Structure 1
């Protein structure tokens, strides 16, 4: 593959409400349970293969196409570091209700207990909000003993779990870095472009009222083992949240995210040249072209490394998402 490819919506069914903001961005009808659009995904939902995978216009799964020709899709330096693995999952996520308090395993935990090289560090780029008080919740406000976390989960004390987190008011242009293990939740009315490591591993501490099968919260590991992945130390919001505004930015997430993924916001009025790289492009505003591919508000595009340098033309605001730098 040597040309950028526009991708349709890919919204596997989820347990929570949302999707209206995705539909408005794309200009397409909303689904009742379409709060996540998995863009250029080579990742499946946990235990639900092939749900979540992106299908290319020629009928192939993107996962299979990358495995068949990793050098064209990813480039030699990336393949040398990560193999035939994009090392990236991008989502559009529209929270139509508050998400439960949850966290994700680290690389070391995932390798030890889930036989996977990737955990799930993630980051959120806020691109829209609705309602009077759009909030996210990130990290414990103070150190929390293991026994207390265990008690909260055993009794499903939602008020205590949510109350222990840092509430953060957000607006478009804000970004939030969420290291593996750090408990978090996204509030109703928050619309994000999410970058994450390419897994669907979630330890759902607050499962009552959210998951139809209570045992699903711990990834089949049991409560004692699953809770080992929780980061119980206090988190400083200033270390995790950046207020980037809405101007063009070459690095939306800060250097702490570089080992996991990279993102920049591009404001184009005329032309801009993109260096060669595997990338996922999300168009937030305007219209134009990527080389000869027409773009409009809501377009989502996967760019293979073999496309080389590409030219964005027109009046556009886009978010470009890329894998970690090769090591």
Structure 2
């Protein structure tokens, strides 16, 4: 069956924190009435933790993308990917606009997720900063918070959680001011929070698993904050090691000034988990066959397959590209696109967590 790139509508499951207006503005839509829809799960085959089927993307023919991939995994993902990962894109892409600071939290790695949650994927993630609300009085200094600057022992982390010492948790993290064009890689286990006003494309492993170290004023109680494991188990996924500023710097990139046709956004450390590039196609950029998720940031253009099928793109378009679409050509003088892909099948992906484990 012929498979073509497909444009997807918004997919915004309800969350526990408030969002802003940036997703609607990017998509050129009127803001919705519910401010608790701060994320758009693009081409998602991943459901919200404990709330399946919420979060699954729906195709124009009414099927979920998850069902479509299950029916034709090789067509959607390619034979090499299926050999490595099965009928699983191994990728989740979101638009996220924080209308308030997110709680301090972290995510399990592959080993912890497999052992305690029966899930193949942990949740390493990365952020492509699209914009910030730095011109408003509420968010004059848009900031993300990443990694324990001086480290912390298990007793200290348990004390923060049991007393809900938000001030202590936040003070222990590295505050990093961000601007459009910055990217941040967040390895599984690293405590982190996104500050109010920050708008990102979030690229991550295909899992929805968060351990909230800070739950008060966000969720009804601690029982909804530890993945049903209890904190005695869940806190074993926390990276307690020291992440001083010079170590944090290895996770950051400042790409705003790079006008190249293909800009690698995260670097080789992210490759075992996912890949992403910012594309400036100009008069034409040829792309090899691959399952991919595209987010158009600015401009207009076209995505053309080798069979002559053409999909018109504009600012805010989100597109899923099946592997069977074959080679494609992206064109647009003012078009800028973020292209997200799964990890390449191979030894690096299989051994992604060989040096990671719970209780770091």
| Two-structure CA RMSD over aligned residues (Å) | 0.9
Question: Which residue of 2 is the match for residue 12 of structure 1?
Answer: 13
Q: Does residue 260 in structure 1 map to residue 268 in structure 2?
A: no
Distance 1:81 1:150 in 2: 38
C-alpha displacement of 1:268: 2.1
Bigger drift between 316-325 and 240-249 goes to 240-249
For residues 96-133 of structure 1, what are the alpha-carbon distances to aligned partners after superposition, in whole Å with 9 as ceiling and x for unaligned?
Answer: 11000000001000000000110000000101111210
Q: Does residue 306 in structure 1 map to residue 324 in structure 2?
A: yes
Three-state SS of the structure 2 residue aligned to 1:48 is coil
Distance 2:241 2:263 in 1: 31
Question: Which residue of 1 is the match for residue 156 of structure 2?
Answer: 148
Aligned positions, number? 327
Question: Which residue of 1 is the match for residue 224 of structure 2?
Answer: 216
Question: Which residue of 1 is the match for residue 174 of structure 2?
Answer: 166
Three-state SS of the structure 2 residue aligned to 1:218 is coil
Q: Does residue 120 in structure 1 map to residue 138 in structure 2?
A: no
Q: Does residue 244 in structure 1 map to residue 262 in structure 2?
A: no
Three-state SS of the structure 2 residue aligned to 1:207 is coil
C-alpha displacement of 1:246: 4.4
Contact 1:19 1:36 in 2 (8 A): no
Contact 2:20 2:197 in 1 (8 A): no
Equivalent of 1:326, from 342, 345, 357? 345
Distance 1:88 1:144 in 2: 31
Distance 1:234 1:13 in 2: 34
Distance 1:105 1:255 in 2: 21
Question: Which residue of 2 is the match for residue 234 of structure 1?
Answer: 242
For residues 64-88 of structure 1, what are the alpha-carbon distances to aligned partners after superposition, in whole Å with 9 as ceiling and x for unaligned?
Answer: 0001100000001101110100000
Distance 2:220 2:95 in 1: 24
Question: Which residue of 2 is the match for residue 46 of structure 1?
Answer: 49
Q: Does residue 137 in structure 1 map to residue 145 in structure 2?
A: yes
Distance 1:259 1:246 in 2: 26
Bigger drift between 237-246 and 164-173 goes to 237-246
Bigger drift between 228-237 and 254-263 goes to 228-237
C-alpha displacement of 1:270: 1.4
After TM superposition, the structure 1 = structure 2 runs for residues 279-294 of structure 1, keeping only pairs within 5 Å, are 279-291=292-304, 292-294=310-312
Distance 1:26 1:80 in 2: 36
TM-score between both structures, scaled by the size of structure 2: 0.89
Which segments of 5 or more consecutive residues in structure 1 lack a partner in the other structure?
Answer: none
Question: Which residue of 2 is the match for residue 297 of structure 1?
Answer: 315
For residues 117-162 of structure 1, what are the alpha-carbon distances to aligned partners after superposition, in whole Å with 9 as ceiling and x for unaligned?
Answer: 1000000010111121010000000120100000000000000000
Three-state SS of the structure 1 residue aligned to 2:96 is strand
Question: Which residue of 2 is the match for residue 89 of structure 1?
Answer: 92
Contact 2:293 2:340 in 1 (8 A): yes
For residues 205-262 of structure 1, what are the alpha-carbon distances to aligned partners after superposition, in whole Å with 9 as ceiling and x for unaligned?
Answer: 0000011243111000001100000001012211111111243343110100000000
Distance 1:221 1:99 in 2: 22
C-alpha displacement of 1:199: 0.7
Distance 1:13 1:49 in 2: 13
4+ residue runs over 4 A deviation: none
Q: Does residue 99 in structure 1 map to residue 118 in structure 2?
A: no
Bigger drift between 138-147 and 23-32 goes to 23-32
Distance 2:342 2:263 in 1: 15
Which segments of 5 or more consecutive residues in structure 2 lack a partner in the other structure?
Answer: 135-139, 305-309, 347-360
Equivalent of 1:33, from 30, 33, 36? 36
Distance 1:311 1:42 in 2: 26
